[in-house]
Structure 1
């Protein structure tokens, strides 16, 4: 066992310092005022810089040509002061104290508050099996969030979690660990200081986080990270707000890719249709017709892998089954004519009987055994298989070749990457590593990231202006740069409905803003009617909204499967489509800032200790609190409304002050939602299809008791023209007071299809006396009917305390002024 106990030497390098201890070598790089990189190796020298993961670096990296749009920054000066018993490095926001003996690193804010401290005498350890440990001091007041895709409650304190990609079909959403994704990042928030910090371990080996589950009376309370190999290479990220931590973490690993707008719509799916003996294409097209018949919007279909089945009944990727799909090109065209994009299921494991197996083997495109001479084989869906090596340029190019010929040439621009956990038992199997050669144990979770990147590249190479839509099941840190994700093959149960929520919220805090789960449950019997309704009512708030199933009782989960309940399903999905402009703007925000779409309450209300443990109620963006009904046969629902804001019931418009728990009576139709003070929410009425519908009338819902702002984002939704300025952002500034102002500031060249605006201003105390648009008074109507029949004007809806105005959409910046001065009718 090796343990660093004493600092022996300091070596100053170019923009870094190296610390030589009696057991290991360390390198400290001040990335900026808030982010510090610390590398530790127990070898004589550090390994070469060769990362497929980092979107931002401050050094040359062997993978610079492989990683698209990587940003290179200049780090801060790595000067230090020797204070005798320790060294001090400083940024404008942080102090880094390096204790000489016993060796340990401590990071403080400028007021001396300790943000991170190594456990002295066992801070960095390499055991006799080659495992690496990093021990950190922890407090009883610490809360831990993130860790990627993890089961259970949002706060992961007192949890031990394994980082490893696994195909966990039918998992328990409260208890199963690990799941599909491996993201070694967490956020610590201290309850006393309320300061948040992040730790990202840049290491793809299998690893474990123990967040205080283990205790020893010989040591201060601690948490630890343990990796099976590599280096202890981590980035410390300062907040102190959670929002800042997430934003800075996504600076390192990349922002969420801006998706196609149609991906916000309902995406149909089931394994059932593609397992029919014949005419699976007609079943899917019939599904779209049924959606229209039932007035249920739908914009795409995730096509399960039965379409690839060979004569032996096994799945062969890139191999169309012509009994089920006689004319794939015609089918894809017909589906798009009905307003839906096709996303075919793709798998990276190729069975030994695959028609293309030999071609990939001859190109050396598979991961090889430990000798490096022949393809490694392992258990896969359908039998023994070899796995495409995406760290091999030959493997990448051959994969893209077949993506293009089998799908993209037919008009497919959406790819669904599935079963890509790379469960290869032989940890010594060799990957090309772009000529460097490295064991699969060092690269396993990076393979699904590269698989998603290849799909993106293949689509762009065929048509550079087509915006790809990629969906991944597995992934590592940075998967958000390429793909939307989902929480795998969940079990059909009330528990899954409930605990999939904190799984999604934790992923959002881990940089993956665009994700969801299989609505209705993937594995198990058909969901009972009440469970199905509640799951759809929750699923409409997930960025990925898809009802998908592999039911074990010969049924298929469809929106109309229970006719007497279809109205509840329809109403929920139509509410989802009403929120499309809001969702799209939030996804744009994620692509720029890194913000999650579904946000735990602690993300927005970090100073309210009553939300630090909340796992099931969440914010949709800044403005909407969602408290879905998650219990069977519920008649009431208690909701805590965070302090610091006022809240307005979405349905009744009843107002509540924050910092209290309210009780609601609920029925099967209930979707409890609350509007936050200062909310600005863009909505669209009557949208039935995102592909074919144009938002000509935009509604804005405004709660006008708190200053706020919101940026509405618009572009064509399908091309990459936005990268060249063909977008439109409209930043709406709300300034409250007796003269409440809405200022609309536009940027970009995109010509919005919006022709009319309807603005609903929720008033706190009194009705307006008059409203001005761009300096001109809007006509006031006393009758709602007269207002509805007019082109321009406003009226006051007394029951909901809402001033409703409408007008033609200006094409320039403008201002709306709502006057709240009380009109004295008596003295007149």
Structure 2
């Protein structure tokens, strides 16, 4: 099925279980608590050994590490391996992720570490960590709070964040027929498309799109197809995060801090360097107020209309569409509609050019599952657009990796109101056969 297997595990075994008794015998719990002492390197190693012997060797690909935070001052008055629990307790999730990351990396470099966890501490991003916001309510207020939570979280330097699309706590069986909930789920899903990590989850629920009827399924499919068409852009932005310390989900203050108006539009943000996302946050909306920051102009992604920055507009927001804008000067690589990222989808890419300013992007590619990129096994193709000369330059490919595409097609699309809009393929002005050598194209 071309799926990867992520298993939900808790980080502290019951002391009365066979495994728990073994840890008790070896003094691996923080004295007087039910919490393993991950501050002790021996505990971290033994915990990984348990995961490896029972799960990893059987094909587990990723770890859903729930309940990694000592709740309600659980370490108050205790003494951990490195010092007082009162002082170190907030770093507990950091040490749990460290245990799994270092254990798996020592075991193999053929599979990237992927840890989904609900608590974090500064620096935890280096341990393959994705943070999700926990057991949130499936309400409009809960949804709005998630947008702010994500922006506040990622601006701290922890780049990979996600929420339970639709909320963890849901209306129960009525969710499948309740049109009011369907609207919330659809808007949350649209916003989730532009989260660093895109996922649906719900308590005691079957969350497949087709459970909610054809309208919801169609609306979800549209956004899912867009997410996958944008994989070349998203993966390149992820490399920008790894290589340059950037972040994908960007509060407007990061890019437009001299524009005083942005503080009045707290739910808007940038997704990478190019996309302005304005999620719909109220029920019953058919249009939405959107502020387009000054210093640049903007294209409506869905219509191709070029709009001057520094003004508030009312963007169309039918139920199947999130207000979405692209900064003038952007270069956006888009792939085919695919069912999984393992498909050979990058042999032909659509390169959308949003004229109006100089722009550039580095198209990053590697093998996708291992750590060979740390040894330099990856490729970067730089695209630069010069507004004055109306010229696109595709640079020489830098680097290579096993299985890289030696030859491919780049369909160059200049976006306007008649071309390169929305999800559909644009009409190319040039179809370039690229073999790794520099090409200049007059647009």
TM-score scaled to structure 2, two decimals? 0.92
For the residue of structure 2 that corresponds to 1:572, the secondary structure is helix
Matches within 5 A, 1:260-659: 338-368=1-31, 376-377=32-33, 386-423=34-71, 424-433=73-82, 438-482=83-127, 483-526=129-172, 527=175, 528-551=181-204, 555-564=205-214, 565-659=216-310
Contact kept in structure 2, 1:647 and 1:657, CA below 8 Å: yes
Q: Residue 417 of structure 1: SS of its match in structure 2? A: strand
| Aligned-partner Cα distance in 2 for 1:724–1:432 | 35
- In 2: Cα distance, 1:509 partner to 1:548 partner: 24
The Cα offsets for residues 510-533 of structure 1, whole Å up to 9 and x where unpaired, read as: 001111111010013255111111
Alignment coverage as a number of residue pairs? 428
Structure 1 residues 506 and 669 mapped into 2: Cα distance closer, same or farther (>3 Å)? same
* Aligned partner of residue 550 in structure 1, secondary structure: coil
Aligned residue for 1:808, secondary structure, equals strand
Written as runs of structure 1 = structure 2, the 5 A alignment for 1:654-693 is 654-693=305-344
Alpha-carbon offset, residue 430 of structure 1: 1.2
Shift of 1:543: 1.3
SS of equivalent to 2:194: coil
What does 1:57-68 align with in structure 2 at a 5 Å threshold? none
RMSD: 2.1
For the Cα contact (< 8 Å) 2:193–2:224, is it kept in 1? yes
* Higher Rg of the two aligned structures: 1
CA displacement 1:145-172 (0-9 Å, x = unmatched): xxxxxxxxxxxxxxxxxxxxxxxxxxxx
Higher strand share: 1
- Rounded to whole Å, the distance in 2 between the matches of 1:519 and 1:683 is 24
Q: 1:366 to 1:479 in 2, by over 3 A?
A: same
Q: Given the superposition, is the C-alpha separation of residues 717 and 363 from structure 1 closer, same or farther in structure 2, using an over 3 Å criterion? A: same
1:699 paired with 2:343, answer no
Asked if 1 retains the 8 angstrom alpha-carbon contact of 2:210 and 2:217, the reply is: yes
Structure 1 548/797 Cα, relative in aligned 2: closer, same or farther at 3 Å? closer
CA distance in 1, matches of 2:13, 2:387: 61
2-structure distance, mates of 1:505, 1:516: 11
SS in 1 for 2:198: strand
Q: Which deviations, in whole Å up to 9, do the C-alpha atoms of 1:1-54 show, x marking residues without a partner?
A: xxxxxxxxxxxxxxxxxxxxxxxxxxxxxxxxxxxxxxxxxxxxxxxxxxxxxx
Q: Verify the 8 A CA contact 1:408 1:462 in the aligned structure 2.
A: no
Task: Confirm or deny: 8 A CA contact 1:762 1:802 kept in the other structure.
Answer: no
1:741-820 matches, cutoff 5 A: 741-750=392-401, 752-753=404-405, 755-762=408-415, 804-818=429-443
Mapping of residues 66-215 of structure 1, within 5 Å: none
- Quick one: structure 1 residues 668 and 353, their matched pair in 2 at CA, closer, same or farther if it must change by over 3 Å? same
Return the offset for 1:742.
Answer: 2.5
Distance 1:637 1:613 in 2: 14
Distance (whole Å) between structure 2 residues aligned to residue 628 and residue 406 of structure 1: 42
How far off is 1:539 after superposition?
Answer: 0.6
Structure 1: any 5+ residue segments left out of the alignment? Answer: 1-337, 369-375, 378-385, 765-795, 819-828
**Structure 2 gap ranges (5+):** 176-180
Is the 2:329–2:358 Cα contact (8 Å) retained in structure 1? yes
1:704 deviation in Å? 2.0
Change (3 A) 1:342 1:664: same
| Contact 1:390/1:450 (8 A) holds in 2 | yes
Shift of 1:556: 2.6
- The structure where helix makes up a greater share of residues is 2
| Residue 673 of structure 1, CA deviation | 0.7
> Partners of 2:434 and 2:427 in 1: how far apart?
20
In structure 2, distance between residues paired with 1:525 and 1:355: 38
Cα distance, 1:798 vs structure 2:
11
Q: Which residue of 1 aligns with 2:178?
A: none
Shift of 1:799: 10
Q: Per-residue displacement from partner, 1:388-431 (whole Å, max 9, x unpaired)?
A: 11111221111011010111111213111111111243512111
CA distance in structure 2 between the partners assigned to 1:587 and 1:728 by the alignment: 14
Contact 1:687 1:695 survives alignment (8 Å):
no
Q: Secondary structure of 1:682's partner?
A: strand
Matched residues in 2 for 1:705 and 1:813: separation?
Answer: 23
State the SS of the aligned residue for 1:497: helix
